[in-house]
Each structure stands twice: as C-alpha cells, then as structure tokens.
C-alpha cells in the first residue's frame, strides 16, 4: 500500500508543511470522515469550520490559513488541486493489463496498437484503429472505420458508431453513444422522410464524457467536442454542435442542432439550448435555463431562466413576481381611493 510523509506531500504539491513532518499518510478522505492516517483538505470557509472537528492526520490548506490549533498542515495555492495530486499517488487506479480478451470480436482489418487492452465481449469493426495504451472495456461496440488515439479509456458498454474520430486521453463512461444519427427529417406533406446524416463526430484530446451521454453525428461535416472539455451524465449533443475547449457541461443538459459553445464556457445541468444558439467563450449558463433558438449568450454576467437573461435581471424579476399578489391588492385599494377622490 502506498504512503506519503507530510514532508513528501508538501514536496509533491509544492507546498509548505507545518507540524509533524514525518507523519505517515495512507489515504485521502472527506474532512468529516478522515482518520489520523488520512489527509483531507480545506477549500472554503465552511470547510475551515468543519476542519476544526476533523481528526485528519494532515490538512491541505490555503496559504492564509490561520493554524491557531497548531495542526499538521501543508499550505498550498489550491488545496483541491493539491488533494487531487495526492489522491493520484495514494489511490492509484487499478492497473488494467493490456491484451485482447479471447471473447472479444476483432475484425481482421482492425489495427490495434500492441499495448492496448480490449475487454470481454467487446466488438471492434473493420478498419477501426485503437492507439497505444487505450482501454476498450467489456461490452463496448466500436464500429467500422472508428479511429481512437492513445491512452483513451472507454468504460464498459460504450457504443461508437462508424467513422467517429476520438483523439488522445479521452475518457468515455459507460453507456455513452457517440455518433448516432442526428435527428433530421424532412416532412413531405404526408410523412417524415429521413434526412440521411452523413457527417461524423470528432472528440479532441483530454475530453471526459459521463455515463449515458449521447453525441450525434453531423448531417454534413462534424459534431466537435473541443480539447479538455468535461461533460457530465445524460447530456444530449445534437448534430453539428461545435463545443469549444475546456468547456464544462453538467448533467442532463441538451443542445439542439448546430449550437456553438465557446472555450471555457460553463453550462449548468438540465439546460436546454435551441438550435443555432451561440454560447460565447467564458459565458456561464445557470442550471435549468432555456436558451432560445439562434440566441447569443455573452460572457460577463451569468445568465439564468427561460428565456435566459442576465442573473441580476432574472433575480430582480423573480423577486418582484413574488410581490404580484400584493400588487393586485394594492391596485384594488388605490382604484377605490381614486374613485372616492373623483366623486368628492
């Protein structure tokens, strides 16, 4: 089992240790649950209060932390980022041996890097390519002509449709469907005819995508997920969306066709975005918001509500809406008083 001394933790995180520098730490845990053998971290004021009762053997704390109780601490710029580093050392992911499980079905023309791993009952189609260090877990179906780069991790039961391109260090959680047909139909007056979806999907480096999320292929061209973007569970990304770099999208949000999202935007959960809308770089969209078709969301103030508006405006309106029952009463009383005045 791996372990680190407090001094070792300080070195790993570029921090400054105080207290018992040679104390041994075995794992990382939440403040409320950590024991003397465990590290925890303080990343806001509320956590600082909880920390007072924490039994954690060592705390990662902000630089200005007031250590009045003389605990064993390590001061760092960002305790949460530092904790992630320590977790990586103390809780390494279980090693997954390379090699192809005998029950996997690999097409003869597929090209697998020698040190990739393919799990039980996985299926890999004709002319598909899997890069070095990539893991295709049990039950995944990788269709024809898919190209997957290096060090990707496709968790169990992921489906990748034909021709999708996935770059390097991409993580796809279970149940993801990448490259299903976009929802395109043309009404001929009697019934809907399918508008064939002949585009693809491009997922760039370092993207992580949550469980059961669906990213549809483009009608023409590609649906793109930019480098470093993180997408939560059950998100719907329709055909021809162009999602920028380092975007964060929380669970159950849905993007209609051809939506553009700029780099570093943050989109909350259960947001609905109409087709051809644009969310600009670094814009912030509150959870549950609705962005109308072709609308542009600017950076600056976060937006909220349906239709989404600047947060302050939306909150002001919510507050005054709560007063409408009063308004009705007052209006009635004023009306009576004015009538009285008119008669007098």
- Which residue among 155, 173, 239, 314 is the active-site one? 239
Please name which of 261, 301, 270 lies closest in space to residue 309, comparing C-alpha atoms: 301
**Residue 139 touches its own copies, criterion: CB under 8 A:** yes
Residues 213-252 binding its own copies (CB under 8 A) are 214, 216, 219-221, 228, 230, 232-234, 236, 238, 246, 248, 250-252
Distance, CA of 294 to CA of 234 (rounded, Å)? 23
Residues 299-318 binding its own copies (CB under 8 A) are 306-307, 316-318
Q: What is the largest CA-CA distance in the chain?
A: 99
**Residue 48 touches its own copies, criterion: CB under 8 A:** no
Residues 70-129 binding its own copies (CB under 8 A) are 78, 80-81, 83-84, 87-88, 91, 93-94, 101, 103, 105, 119-121, 123
CB 278 within 8 A of CB 296: yes
Q: What angle do CA 145, 149, 153 make, to 5 degrees?
A: 105
Instruction: Point out which span in 3-11, 55-63, 277-285, 334-342 binds its own copies (CB under 8 A).
Output: 334-342
Residues 249-268 binding its own copies (CB under 8 A) are 250-252, 254, 256
Which three-class secondary structure state does DSSP give residue 193? strand
Instruction: Point out which span in 4-12, 17-25, 60-68, 270-278 binds its own copies (CB under 8 A).
Output: 270-278
Which whole-number Å values give the CA distances from 319 to 258, 298, 312, 315, in the listed order?
35, 24, 10, 6
Q: Which of 272, 279, 297, 302 binds its own copies (CB under 8 A)?
A: 272
**Cβ-defined contacts of 292-301 (< 8 Å, 24+):** 293/256, 299/262, 299/265
Shortest spacing between CB 58 and its own copies, in angstroms: 15
CB 306 within 8 A of CB 270: no
Is 173 annotated in the active site? no
Residues 3-22 binding its own copies (CB under 8 A) are none
Residues 159-188 binding its own copies (CB under 8 A) are 159, 161-162, 173-175, 177, 180-181, 183, 185-186, 188
**Residue 334 touches its own copies, criterion: CB under 8 A:** yes
Which whole-number Å values give the CA distances from 159 to 84, 125, 230, 248, in the listed order?
30, 12, 19, 22
Which residues form the catalytic set? 239
């Amino acid at each position: 089992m791996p372990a680190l001394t407090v001094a070792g933790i300080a070195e790993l995180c570029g921090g400054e240790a105080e207290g018992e520098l040679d104390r041994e730490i075995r794992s990382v845990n939440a403040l409320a649950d950590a024991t003397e053998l465990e590290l925890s971290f303080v990343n806001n004021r509320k956590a600082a209060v909880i920390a007072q009762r924490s039994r954690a053997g060592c705390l990662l704390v902000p630089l200005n932390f007031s250590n009045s109780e003389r605990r064993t601490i390590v001061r760092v710029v960002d305790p949460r980022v530092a904790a992630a580093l320590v977790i990586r050392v103390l809780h390494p992911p279980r090693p997954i041996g390379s090699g192809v499980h005998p029950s996997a079905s690999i097409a003869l023309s597929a090209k697998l890097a020698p040190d990739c791993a393919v799990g039980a009952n996985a299926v890999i189609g004709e002319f598909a390519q899997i890069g070095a260090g990539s893991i295709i877990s049990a039950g995944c179906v990788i269709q024809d002509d898919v190209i997957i780069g290096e060090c990707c991790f496709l968790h169990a039961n992921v489906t990748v449709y034909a021709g999708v391109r996935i770059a390097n260090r991409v993580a796809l959680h279970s149940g993801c469907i990448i490259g299903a047909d976009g929802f395109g139909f043309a009404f001929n007056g009697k019934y809907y005819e399918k508008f064939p979806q002949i585009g693809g999907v491009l997922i760039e480096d370092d993207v992580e995508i949550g469980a059961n999320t669906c990213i549809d292929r483009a009608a023409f061209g590609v649906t793109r997920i930019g480098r470093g973007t993180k997408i939560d569970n059950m998100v719907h990304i329709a055909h021809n969306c162009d999602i920028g770099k380092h975007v964060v999208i929380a669970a159950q949000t849905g993007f209609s066709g051809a939506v553009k999202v700029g780099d570093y935007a943050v989109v909350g959960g259960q947001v609905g975005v109409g087709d051809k809308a644009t969310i600009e770089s670094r814009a912030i969209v509150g959870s549950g918001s609705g962005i109308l078709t072709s609308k542009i969301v600017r950076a600056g103030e976060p937006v909220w509500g349906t239709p989404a508006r600047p947060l302050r405006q939306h909150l002001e309106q919510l507050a005054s809406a709560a007063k409408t029952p009063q308004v009705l009463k007052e209006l009635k009383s004023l009306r009576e008083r004015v009538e009285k005045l008119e008669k007098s």
